[in-house]
Structure 1
Amino acid sequence: MSRTIAELTRGHDAAAPAVVCGDRTLTYGELDCAADRIARALQVAGLPPGARVAYLGLESVDYYAALLGCARSAMVFVPINFRLTAAEIGHILADSGAAMLIADAPLRDRLDGLDGVVCVDTARFADWYSGYPAEPPVVRIDADTPVVQLYTSGTTGLPKGVVLAHRSFFAVREALAVAGENWIDWRAGDIGLIGIPGFHVGGIWWATQGLGAGATMVAMPRFDPATAIGLIRDRGVTTVCVVPSMLRLMLAEPGAERAALASVRKLVYGGSPISESLLGQAMSILDCEFAQIYGLTETGNTAVCLPPDQHYPGSPRLQAAGRAYPGFAVRITDERGDAVGPGRVGEVWLRTPGHMVEYWRRAEATAATLVDGWIRTGDAGYLDPEGYLFLCDRLQDMIIVGGENIYPAEVENAIAGHPAVADVAVVGAPDERFGERVHAFVAARSEVSARELFVHCADRLAGYKIPSRFEFVERIPRNPSGKILRRELREPLWPTGIRRIG
């Protein structure tokens, strides 16, 4: 059993397809050879172990070859969100100190000031490394060697580089194997769909899980719900990993019928809260097992899971994030960092062997987040007596109305249950009397009035939690991982100079 990304392709059928994307496929043998050649090419280019190699482009088979090549040469792979602005990309390149950039030409051409960075066009990437021997370089690599540096979404400021070691991608698999649990399992012949982009921890983690198991992993250049449905149907996809917003878009497609999705045996979802109505719709269409995962980039992706045996109609835990994997731990703390008992809301702390090495070149931020082996998540939640974690919201997103704490996710779940609502986001807005008021942004799929939504909420929420205003919009802004960009929604509501509560 491999313990590093460098070993992912070892021991599998060389003729079996490893990665499929668009019209290109790499078998395990081809991916193995490409990784060795890329590792050699990086060394010949003069990059030492620990050098940062950035990748800016749409998903492709080359993306995964580059990841393995970096892993085998003890270098650190830095995938960049291709949707970012030139300024944001420039920040990541400068902050990471990337020595090389592998990029799609149209994206690279937007950037200036790349002095000192070796640039390779993805269209010529295979030509660049193909002449080198398919022999892995001799370098020291172990479970604690840094291998990936992912940049947080930056919803509250400039993104930070989260450095993850090889162990981050194997901690869950090893824990489940030791405990004999199959919450997230892989079987012979599995075909996995990579719904989450590779520049997000969920995407790269899911890909490594499948490749480590010898599965065929199917990726899309960029996520498209109709394409995703077609790939599941035509390629017989058996395992899927998506965020709830992607699942919502997929199920809205005309082709999202039980027959088209019959090959799926397990769907893993996470990355943002899911509404009861969406989960119910998914469970009615997909005849498969469901597993919800919760974690952060800083925890190496998932640290908590709601296993398949808790996904059934009427389950009291369908709104839980789940419980910690065997050997992992969750605790809820008060403002002083002291643990609180079941039922009390506080900050969620996670302890996982997959936690980050550090925030790149940010010692103070690292010390503030990684405390005695625990990751402070910044999320608010509580534990039930059996240890299941229920999330309320991000601590900084909490709305305080007349001294009462309101978590947006609770209000959003209530509103999302209305059949006319396609998507919803709730934020706090200034209020002279109560300090804040609840403001809802609603993207509707059919005609509905604010009055109808108010009446809908009145049966489900305490009066002080019901939005004082429903603002109808075409779409809810979200980042690539599906998280609501609340800051973008809040800004116009708060006059310059007024303190933003919560």
Structure 2
Amino acid sequence: MNSPSTLVAALEHHAVISPRSRALIAGTDTLTYRELAARSRSVARALAAAGVGAGDRVVHLALDTPAVYELLYGCARLGAVLVPVNWRLAPEEIAYILGHSDAGVVVTDDPGRVGATGATVVEVAEYPAWRDRAPDRAVGEFSATSDTPVVQMYTSGTTGRPKGVVLAHRSFFAVRGLLDSAGLDWIDWRADDVGLIALPSFHIGGMWWATQGLNAGVANVVLPVFTAVDAIRAVRENAVTTSCFVPAMLLLMLSEPGVGASEFASLRKIVYGGSPIGPDLLARAVEVFDCDFAQIYGLTETGNTAICLPPADHRADRRRLDAAGLPYPGVDIEIRDEDGTPRAPGESGEVFVRSPARMVEYFADPDATAATLSPEGWIGTGDAGFLDDGGYLVIRDRVKDLIIVAGENVYPAEVEKAIAAHPGVHDCAVVGAPDDRWGERVHAFVVARPGTEVTTRDLARFLAGRLAGFKVPSRYEFIDVVPRNPSGKILRRELRERFWAGRDRRVN
């Protein structure tokens, strides 16, 4: 029998073969696969009663609970598209997304944030009653294919207005299929696994990770919102075996007082990505968590992960830890210069990816779609990097974050990695600031480890010999926290703003 290729088909498969198996765990509440399938049918009836049909958008604007996954499968049954929205956004940003997506239904834990809209607004507290009061009659289910849109994720909006990235069912099946076909266990699921969904559903990493566990038919623990304490408790109390984190989450968990290996005895594999990880943090994580690690790299537009640094490269021979990883079988990578010409191995340029998991389009934005997704399926990542002699992708930084000092290129990620290696540094970020003499200068924001004192002189001495002179920051600014978006990426534009505000050009 062929493996399911749509979300509803996968859910129904597990509801039939293992109906009593746990699908979702939220605190003391547990939802089996049979119950999840039944609830998703109730959601489909409620959505249909509200006038939702194929192609319509349904917004989830709330902390994560099993409801978001009930909505996901309910939408999929109708051919509708779920739009998980970052509840941390400002009212103006939320209003833009609600208007842009033209949502027919909004499920929210704070109706006051929705504002004026023609959508049916369902408060989370009333959601179960709304879900279950729809007439108990069959709803004509949409005949989806792997190319049918099912989720719309809005980009983080660190530059300009956010775009709605439309993802089809294939975005949540392609990587698993590629790995299975090649017989690789870089990211794998076992029958007795318990996954922890620590990333939010409004982030592609969170939605992708949740669907991987549900497609595999294993138990999945849902955190309403990540905190280190809650994540550690969830691992311990549920005997979690695998999870996906951004490096900042690993750092927070490792920073909890008294935390040790015994807290994570059940873990067998951690997948991480979303931002670069420092060598000291990774070494500490490997030691304390004492399990396999796999690094992933990708974009919302590529359907999440397209590159993986396998567990084997995290073990004895760690020469490749500076790399993002290898493309999955069936995923293509090219490095191109500014003119679009492919670069040779070892030569830096913008990273382009072609993956079967890639997005369908940017919703209602054909110009942006054409500028990002080529007819041949290539997507420009906006990241600068190169392919080494082993075919591993090494990321230098975002192309737009490039700093040019007296004609020399400086990649912030490289400087940040060097600073982060200082034992007194907890976190850091590097940006380019205008300089009358050199064009731009390197400015570092540094967060010291609690209980330690780090000075500018300490850092300058530490970096001497580790970085070329023109890469060493000319100034250091000590701050309490580095601003990051929900996926863990540094909000570099926010840090640069005071240096470049009022200038027509953001380069010097």
Which category describes the TM-score, using the shorter chain as reference length? over 0.9
Q: Which residue of 1 aligns with 2:430?
A: 426
CA–CA separation in structure 1 for the residues paired with 2:502 and 2:356: 43
The 1-side partners of 2:490 and 2:137 are apart by 44
Q: Does 2:322 correspond to 1:322? A: no
Instruction: Output the CA distance in 2 between the equivalents of 1:192 and 1:253.
Output: 21
Residues in 1 aligned to 2:169 and 2:349: alpha-carbon distance in whole angstroms: 31
What are the within-5 Å matches in structure 2 for residues 345-494 of structure 1? 345-371=348-374, 372-445=376-449, 446-494=452-500
| C-alpha distance in structure 2 between counterparts of 1:217 and 1:485, whole Å | 30
Structure 1 residues 486 and 231: CA distance shift in structure 2, 3 A: same
Matched residues in 2 for 1:460 and 1:394: separation?
Answer: 22
Deviation larger for 4-13 or 23-32 = 4-13
1:49 aligns with 2:54: yes
TM (norm. structure 2) is 0.96
Equivalent residues in 2 for 1:32-431 (5 A)? 32-104=37-109, 107-114=110-117, 116-131=118-133, 132-133=135-136, 137-313=140-316, 315-371=318-374, 372-431=376-435
SS at match of 1:368: helix
Structure 1 residue 133, shift from structure 2 partner = 3.4
Q: 1:87 is aligned with what amino acid?
A: E
- Secondary structure at 1:8's aligned position in 2? helix
Question: What CA deviation, in whole Å up to 9, does each residue of 1:437-463 have, x standing for no partner?
Answer: 000000111211111011111131111
The answer to whether the 8 Å contact 2:50/2:105 transfers is no
Letter in 2 for 1:34: R
Work out the CA distance in 2 between the residues paired with 1:353 and 1:81: 26
- 1:387: Cα distance to partner? 1.0
Secondary structure of the 2:13 match is coil
Deviation at 1:256, TM superposition (A): 2.7
Q: Distance in 2 between matches of 1:34 and 1:146?
A: 21
1:277, distance to aligned residue in structure 2 (A): 1.1
- Tell which deviates more after alignment, 145-154 or 44-53: 44-53
Preserved contact between residue 103 and residue 120 of structure 1 (Cα < 8 Å): yes
Q: Distance in 2 between matches of 1:183 and 1:385?
A: 21
Alignment RMSD: 1.3
Taking the aligned partners of 2:350 and 2:22, their CA distance within structure 1 comes to 43
Task: Tell me if the contact between 2:199 and 2:226 (Cα under 8 Å) persists in the aligned partners.
Answer: yes
The reply to whether residue 30 of structure 1 matches residue 30 of structure 2 is: no
8 A Cα contact 1:24 1:61, kept in partner: no
Answer yes or no: is the 8 Å Cα contact 1:269–1:293 preserved in 2: yes
**1:389-437 deviation line (CA, Å, top 9, x unaligned):** 0000000001000111111000000000111111100000111111000
Structure 1 unaligned spans of 5+: none
Distance 1:210 1:135, change over 3 A: farther
Q: Distance in 1 between matches of 2:147 and 2:266?
A: 37
What is the aligned residue count? 499
On the 8 A contact 1:442/1:472 being kept in 2, the answer is yes
Q: 1:369-390: CA deviations, max 9, x gaps?
A: 1012111111100001221000
Q: Which moved more, 1:314-323 or 1:419-428?
A: 314-323
**Contact 1:192 / 1:237 at 8 angstroms: preserved in 2?**
yes
Q: Which amino acid aligns with 2:128?
A: A
Identity of aligned residues (%): 54
In 2, the alpha carbon distance for the partners of 1:248 and 1:432 equals 38
Post-superposition shift, 1:37?
Answer: 1.1
The CA deviation string for residues 135-164 of structure 1, in whole angstroms up to 9 with x for no partner, is: 563322110000000000000111000000
Corresponding residue SS for 1:422: strand
With over 3 angstroms needed to count, the CA separation of the structure-2 counterparts of 1:418 and 1:208, relative to structure 1, is same
User: Which residue identity lines up with residue 98 of structure 1 in the other structure?
Assistant: A
Contact 1:399 1:407 in 2 (8 A): yes
TM-score, structure 1 normalization:
0.97
Q: Indicate if the aligned counterparts of 1:193 and 1:219 stay in contact, CA closer than 8 A.
A: yes
- 1:342–1:383 CA contact under 8 A, matched in 2: yes
Counterpart Cα distance in 1 of 2:31 and 2:58 = 21
Q: Is the 8 A contact 2:296 2:324 kept in 1?
A: yes
